[in-house]
Amino acid sequence: MNDDNPFQASGTEAVVITERQRLLHQTRATVWASAVLLIVPGAALLASGVAAAAYGTAEWWGFAAGLLGLMTLGVVTQLMRFAVAIGRVISDPAPMQWARMFRAERNAWLIASILPAFGMAGLAIRMLGG
Amino acid sequence: MEWHASFAPTMRQTAWTLLLARLGIAGLALFYWMLLLFAAAVVGGLYTDQSVDLRFSGFVMVALFGVASALTGLDWAVARQRIALRVAQHDPDGWDELLRRQRNVWRMVVLALLSAVWFALWLSLGMTIA
């Protein structure tokens, strides 16, 4: 195993490297699929909030729906950046690309963890009769 | 080991990711355990005005995905620091474990996020129509 690069190997280690690249391909496919699938509810939530405001029927939940839609689209953006960063590691496993990938993952975690916290607050308000 | 010297910032990024992941997972766990408790309360008859209908099945689906995501994420967060250390110590198997767990945790997070946002969208549309 070449310590300097987790993708560079020779002989029998090639199988290990293939497995490593396969794992990265699977992660990238998962992240891309989730980003694409989240666009629909994100856009719908945003449109719901905008429509509620436009027709003058905006209550707290209309505002919340719009905000949740914006946050969902933010998650989508970060997921896409993460997927692109994974693709760059696959094609060029340089240290800088690995660093970018982990940084993109950190950002995706940051915004993805805000989303359920926001949902938790909204649900708590609903359950308490807000 | 010039490559590892340049990889040090990435390891620090990993530490930040770990911290954020723990916070995110704590939020996820709180959110989804609350949903599970609510579902249990519906079954137990505490909310007599809530019939066991489509809404209940939605709660259970979101809660199950969420708890599974939180458990997978917890497993990943606990292991990641140890794996990062192994990678820094030039353990070739550390990379495979790191990438495998990264793939698994994102799969579960994606399922949880999708189910949560779709359910929020469904509730939002229901309130809009009502």
| Tens digits of residue pLDDT in B55-85 | 555 666 666 666 666 666 666 666 666 766 6
DSSP A11: G
A42, A109, A122: residue with CB nearest B21: A109
Higher pLDDT, A91 or B119: A91
- Mean pLDDT, chain B, rounded, equals 65
Report A:3-42 residues touching B (Cβ under 8 A): 3-6, 13, 16, 19-20, 23-24, 26-27, 30-31, 33-34, 37-38, 41-42
Distance in Å, alpha carbon of A9 to nearest chain B alpha carbon: 11
Residues of A in contact with B16 (CB under 8 A): 106
A95, A105, A114: residue with CB nearest B17: A105
Give the CB-side neighbour count of residue A65, counting CA atoms within 13 A. Answer: 29
pLDDT of residue A29: 93
| Residue B29: both structure tokens together | 């766990």
pTM of the predicted model over 0.90: no
User: Taking CB atoms and an 8 Å limit, are B10 and A102 in contact across chains?
Assistant: yes
For A37, B100, B119, B129, the CA distances from A34, given in Å and listed in that order, are 5, 18, 16, 28
- Whether B1 has a pLDDT exceeding 50, the answer reads no
Residues of B in contact with A61 (CB under 8 A): 124, 127
Longest dimension (CA), chain B: 67
ipTM metric: 0.71
Residues of A in contact with B107 (CB under 8 A): 30
Radius of gyration of chain A (CA): 20
The answer for A58, left when phi > 0, alpha when psi is -120 to 50, beta otherwise, is: beta
Chain B: residue nearest A58 by CA? Answer: B128
Asked if A79 contacts B107 with a C-beta cutoff of 8 angstroms, the reply is: no
Higher pLDDT, A129 or A38: A38
Confidence of residue A83 (pLDDT cuts 50, 70, 90): very high
- Whether A19 has a pLDDT exceeding 60, the answer reads yes
Report B:67-126 residues touching A (Cβ under 8 A): 90, 92, 95-96, 99-100, 102-103, 106-107, 109-110, 112-114, 116-118, 120-121, 124-125
How many pairs of residues across A and B have Cβ atoms under 8 Å apart? 139
Question: Per-residue pLDDT tens for A36-70?
Answer: 888 887 888 788 888 877 777 666 667 777 888 88
